[in-house]
Amino acid sequence: MFEQYAEILQQKFPDISIHGDLYPPSDFMMLLAKFLGFGKMLLMICIIASINIFTYIGVQPMPSWYNWCISNKFYACMMIFFLCNALEGQVVSTGAFEIYY
């Protein structure tokens, strides 16, 4: 999108120099993305080490989905990694940009 605007501006005003930059996400969204990354790593470590995190928070019995994750460690960790990365990317993506001239 930036390239299209820059091309239009360059055609109309060939003498100006155009520089673009991504608009930064808010501090809250950056913090949320960091917490998601931390939670992702913590969950993957618990699955790899077969730690039942639900006993620490008082949930008995262990949910069936978590039991499946412990039984299928590699597949579960890959799914968690890719889904959380996609979610983190959406959280920090503003879709906006700034044009300086």
Task: Tell me the pLDDT tens digit for each residue of 59-87.
Answer: 888 899 999 999 999 999 999 999 999 99
pLDDT band for 90, please (50, 70, 90 cuts): very high
Of the given ranges (10-14, 20-24, 51-55, 91-95), which has the lowest mean pLDDT?
A: 20-24
The answer for residues whose C-beta is within 8 angstroms of residue 76's C-beta and 6 or more apart is 47, 68, 69, 70
pLDDT band for 101, please (50, 70, 90 cuts): low
Q: How many domains does the chain have?
A: 1
Q: Domain residues for 91?
A: 2-100
